[in-house]
Structure 1
Amino acid sequence: MNIPNALTILRFLMIPLFGYFVFNKQYLIAVIIYSIAALTDMLDGFFARKYNMITSWGKVADPVADKLMQLTAVIILNTQGKIPTILAVAAMLKDVVIGIGSYLLYRQNNLIAQANWYGKLTTVILYFTIVTVLFSLPFSDIFVIISLLSVLFSLLMYALKFIRIKRSKIS
């Protein structure tokens, strides 16, 4: 096992801890865990690229860990009334579309979907939104709106990408 994959596994292990602390409204501890997870995400990508440690498992597991952490946050925060249902549903819908599209892309074409700038940007925006919401900062509503727009844009872009790939394989 290489360092990037170990960091991804560590991030998977942080998800239930993070969820526990958010659920129990221990937001400072949750933000610390979330921040460590974000750091491991940056480090695993850095090590994988810099030291040529990219693996097929890592290409799949890394974004799955990110999505599970984000979904854990938005679902629990939605049930606590801290973020609107529309953001939680949009985030879940985006990840379902990406998941199904990625699965079909791999199954039919043996390709692993790569992250794009809009997906990475949405991840960063959601990170800041979740932190501002957990700390109940006065401008968190602005971040929620920006997150919703970013999630919807990302959803649209990924859907169009999968449609284009599917059409190019048909013709």
Structure 2
Amino acid sequence: MAFSSSPEISNRVWTVPNILSFIRLALVPLFLFFIISAQDALALIVLVVSSVSDYLDGVIARRFNQITRLGQLLDPAADRLFIFAALIGLAVRDVIPWWLFFVIVARDIVLVILGIISANYGFGPLPVHHLGKVATAALFYALPILMLGQAFPDVAWATDPIGWAFALWGAFLYWWAGFIYVAQSVRISRIPRG
């Protein structure tokens, strides 16, 4: 019996994973509000709910064959928006410096430009590189750990060094992955169009 090597991707919109992604997107403004207003414990609760729903939407999509094109866009968009919200909220409060915000956001702007270039050459989004996933994971650890130190100052002596290690490593890997995406885009642009 032959098995398909890649799951079938549908054009459906109203699937359980997509609904969970819509909920995650709706939580982003609430998350940002809690961070800016220094309600870090509530922000962390929203982040935990978002993380659990992120995990569940992936499991449900794979297990019940509900992988969709829309879901492939919504899931990373929600991830990026949570990172962006955390960065801007923490920078506004001077928990992290603005340069870290700009370093991470600049890389995402580069990826948007690359996406436009790839689309002009008739290609879809670049495949996600494992290094990009590791960088995103490092930032997903860094920002909540730094928020934890804000919510509970008694543990900041332990959380801040760990949070900063993840943040700096994540920013470095984020750009390293970005250079890989640039190289992929250059290769794509050199492919003759028929």
TM-score, scaled to structure 1: 0.89
Which of these residues, 13, 18, 23, is aligned with residue 26 of structure 2? 13
Name the amino acid aligned to 2:125.
I
Matches of 1:112 and 1:51, distance apart in 2 = 24
Q: CA deviation at 1:163?
A: 2.0
Structure 1 segment 1-171 matched on structure 2, within 5 A: 1-136=14-149, 137-139=159-161, 140-169=163-192
| 1:129–1:144 Cα contact (<8 Å) kept | yes
Matches of 1:106 and 1:50, distance apart in 2 = 31
Name the amino acid aligned to 1:142.
A
TM-score, scaled to structure 2: 0.79
SS at match of 2:191: helix
Matches of 1:14 and 1:127, distance apart in 2 = 16
Aligned Cα RMSD in Å?
A: 1.9
Q: Deviations over 1:27-59 (max 9, x none)?
A: 111111112212222222222222221111111
Counting matched residue pairs gives 171
- Mind listing any 5+ residue stretches in structure 2 that lack a counterpart? 1-13, 150-158
Name the amino acid aligned to 1:167.
R
Greater CA drift, 73-82 or 161-170:
161-170
Matches of 1:158 and 1:110, distance apart in 2 = 13
Q: CA deviation at 1:118?
A: 1.5
- Report the structure, 1 or 2, having the larger helix content: 1
Greater CA drift, 154-163 or 70-79:
154-163
Q: CA deviation at 1:21?
A: 0.3
Runs of 4+ in 1 over 3 A off after TM superposition: none
SS at match of 2:38: coil
Q: 1:16 to 1:154 in 2, by over 3 A?
A: same
Matches of 1:169 and 1:97, distance apart in 2 = 23
Q: CA deviation at 1:124?
A: 1.1
Q: Find the structure with the greater CA-based Rg.
A: 2
Q: 2:7 matched to which residue of 1?
A: none
Q: CA deviation at 1:104?
A: 3.5
Matches of 2:128 and 2:36, distance apart in 1 = 29
| 1:60–1:112 Cα contact (<8 Å) kept | no
Matches of 2:167 and 2:58, distance apart in 1 = 27
- Mind listing any 5+ residue stretches in structure 1 that lack a counterpart? none
Q: CA deviation at 1:115?
A: 2.3
